[in-house]
Structure 1
Amino acid sequence: MKGAVAYVNDQWHSSGLADLPEGPERHCITLKFIIPRDTQFTGLINHVCEVAQQRLSDFYKGRQVTPRPAAGSVVGDGSGDGIELVFDVAPAE
């Protein structure tokens, strides 16, 4: 079974991590990861969220990055194999 870091690294471009908005204003970032339904469980989804939050914190250095509650099986591709993670990034000071 793949781990959270592998999902984030493997889906860097398709999740939205490779195309983050820049600028000092507040941002709302939505990342989408495909994780097969039969392997989705709360711990894995939470860990993917933590890894993605760290990657966002690295990109938005010095800014607060806050995750919203994770939602599984919501990607609109009809497969139910996705998770959507939403993060709020505070404006730069």
Structure 2
Amino acid sequence: MQKKIFIFLGDFSDKKRVFEVIRMALGITLRGNVVHLNISPSVMEFLSEYDDKTKSEIHEFLQAIEDMGSRYYVKNFSDIDFDENFDAHILVV
């Protein structure tokens, strides 16, 4: 089975856009696939600057990913283990 790797480079000039890109990427790949989402520490640090309501929405969204059988990790690119049990890997840097 061929694995898919998607790389999304975030535009940090617009806070809302970073999270929307992650949502869009997952919306495309989650349908029937088990996805391994890797978020770089710099993106998570950036997302922490959101207001409490948005942080709560992000937490719920990431929890829903796990509830659907996929996983997310906060890792640098060099630390990623390309696990064979996933259909696709999404890297958000």
Structure with higher helix content: 2
Higher relative contact order (CA 8 A, sep 6+): 2
Fold similarity call, TM over 0.5: no
State the TM-score, normalized to the length of structure 1: 0.31
